[in-house]
């Protein structure tokens, strides 16, 4: 199984998601982050699960995978490891956020 890493922007995204959800329910925020972790492991086991976004976003090997109302964006690295680049709520303007 590939190793999975998180870019600093992905870490920030996850922190913001946790903080937002925790305002209303800290236990739900913890559970959501646990679910993200499970999906990251699933992606590491089968990197091709996600939808290919390389062409649409002009980023090599970019894929996305949905979880609840969120979208995980990741790349399979040349060594086979996985880099989680960003995690966004699907209601957001993802194309513009990805550039920022």
How high is the pLDDT of residue 47? 84
**Residue-by-residue pLDDT tens, the chain, 100 positions:** 788 999 999 999 999 999 999 999 999 999 999 999 999 999 999 888 888 887 766 778 889 999 999 999 999 888 889 999 999 988 876 666 656 5
Show the CA angle centred on residue 88, arms to residues 65 and 27, nearest 5°. Answer: 95
Superfamily (CATH H level) for 4-99: RelE-like (3.30.2310.20)
Q: Could you identify the residue written with the tokens 């937002």?
A: 20
How high is the pLDDT of residue 56? 66
Hey, where are the domains in the chain?
4-99
How high is the pLDDT of residue 79? 85
Q: What is the rounded CA–CA span in Å between residue 2 and residue 77? A: 10
């Amino acid at each position: 199984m590939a190793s999975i890493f998180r870019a600093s922007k992905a870490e920030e995204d996850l922190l913001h998601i946790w903080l937002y959800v925790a305002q209303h329910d800290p236990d739900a925020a913890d559970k959501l982050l646990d679910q993200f972790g499970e999906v990251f492991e699933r992606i590491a086991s089968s990197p091709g699960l996600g939808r290919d976004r390389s062409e649409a976003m002009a980023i090599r090997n970019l894929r996305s995978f949905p979880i609840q109302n969120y979208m995980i964006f990741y790349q399979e690295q040349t060594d086979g490891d996985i880099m989680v680049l960003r995690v966004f709520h699907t209601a957001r303007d993802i194309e513009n956020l990805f550039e920022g």
